[in-house]
Structure 1
Amino acid sequence: MGIEIERKFRVRDSAFLDGRDGERLTQGYLSHDKRATVRVRIKGEQAWLTIKGETHGASRSEFEYPIPPDDARAMLDELCGEGVIDKTRYLVPHQGHTWEVDVFHGDNQGLIIAELELDHEDQPFPHPDWLGDEVTGDPRYYNSALSKTPYKTVDS
């Protein structure tokens, strides 16, 4: 069983992304159950099915399996409905860590989130100056929640 430990922050200034190459991700949710979300994601010509457990602090169980991209496209079209997340992900190195910075599109346009995976919950890490408020425990900023209640409707 995999455990994901990540901290999540809003980004207050995205100028640091200028000139960087990102990768487009499309994902949707097959299940929004509190105990487990089931996500299908496409990145380029690769696709995955991911099951994530309930979040406790900054940790949750995570299981991820590659699937055929054609199957993923069919799931997104037929099973995920209108709640598909479209975003560009940038990998940003900063003082020995790599941040995943997601710039959202569509109904979540205007939202930029930076995530950092850690080895343990209380692991210290340097905070880049472009980080804004921490939203690790705020369910409004979970991708699964944004697929149902887009950022344009979130009271930020």
Structure 2
Amino acid sequence: MAKEIERKFLVKRELWQPKGEGIEIAQGYLAADKKRVVRVRLAGNRAYLTVKGPTKGVERLEFEYEIPTDDASAMLALCEHPWIEKRRYLEQCGAHTWEIDCFSGENEGLVVAEIELSTADEIFERPLWLGEEVSDDSRYLNASLMRLPFSRWRN
């Protein structure tokens, strides 16, 4: 079984600048509830179908399969709106690669960094631009951002 152990943080925008062009991502959800998520993603010239189980702390089951891009485009048309639109940058820090997502569309202005770990309590190097941890805040899950985009949040 595939297990995802992921922690999520806000990015201090004043301390981080993109390195490289990043990759444009469009993703939608064929199913999204507390028990499961079925996501289709176009990432540059590649596409994926992903099934995730419920989140327990920072862990959950994850099964991801590369699929033809034409199939992904057709599946995206079946997904709820709005889709998640973002540009992803990869940045090495210590032994880990961070995924920094700069959201656009209805989630414009949100920048989140994610790190995948081997264990929930694994120690990792924290880049200077790393902000508040939001791993336990379900609003920052992409499936949640689809239902209630960042632009509609009230402080």
TM-score clears 0.5: yes
User: What is the deviation of 1:19?
Assistant: 4.4
Cα deviations across residues 50-91 of structure 1 (Å, max 9, x unaligned)?
0000000110000011211111111112x1142201100000
Q: Distance in 1 between matches of 2:44 and 2:97?
A: 21
Mapping 1:49-88, distance limit 5 Å: 49-77=49-77, 79-88=78-87
RMSD: 1.3
| One-letter identity of the residue aligned with 1:134 | E
| One-letter identity of the residue aligned with 1:56 | K
Q: Distance in 2 between matches of 1:14 and 1:43?
A: 27
Mapping 1:23-38, distance limit 5 Å: 23-38=23-38
**For residue 122 of structure 2, what is the aligned residue in structure 1?**
123
Q: Structure 1 55/81 Cα, relative in aligned 2: closer, same or farther at 3 Å?
A: closer
Q: Structure 1 30/14 Cα, relative in aligned 2: closer, same or farther at 3 Å?
A: farther
* Structure 1 residue ranges (4+ consecutive) displaced by more than 4 angstroms after TM superposition: none
For these two proteins, the number of residue pairs brought into alignment is 155
Q: Distance in 2 between matches of 1:49 and 1:14?
A: 34
**For residue 42 of structure 2, what is the aligned residue in structure 1?**
42
Q: Distance in 1 between matches of 2:104 and 2:90?
A: 17
8 Å contact from structure 2 (residues 107, 145) kept in 1: yes
Q: Secondary structure, in 3 states, of the residue corresponding to 2:71?
A: helix
| Unpaired stretches in structure 1, ≥5 consecutive residues | none
| One-letter identity of the residue aligned with 2:149 | P
8 Å contact from structure 1 (residues 13, 131) kept in 2: no
Cα deviations across residues 27-68 of structure 1 (Å, max 9, x unaligned)?
000111211100000112211110000000110000011211
Q: Which moved more, 1:63-72 or 1:106-115?
A: 63-72
Q: Which moved more, 1:82-91 or 1:109-118?
A: 82-91
| One-letter identity of the residue aligned with 2:151 | K
Q: Secondary structure, in 3 states, of the residue corresponding to 1:17?
A: coil
Q: Secondary structure, in 3 states, of the residue corresponding to 2:73?
A: helix
User: What is the deviation of 1:97?
Assistant: 1.4
**For residue 92 of structure 2, what is the aligned residue in structure 1?**
93
| Identical-residue share of aligned pairs (%) | 48
Q: Distance in 1 between matches of 2:99 and 2:67?
A: 22
Q: Distance in 1 between matches of 2:98 and 2:12?
A: 15
Cα deviations across residues 104-150 of structure 1 (Å, max 9, x unaligned)?
00100000000000000000112111111101011100001101110
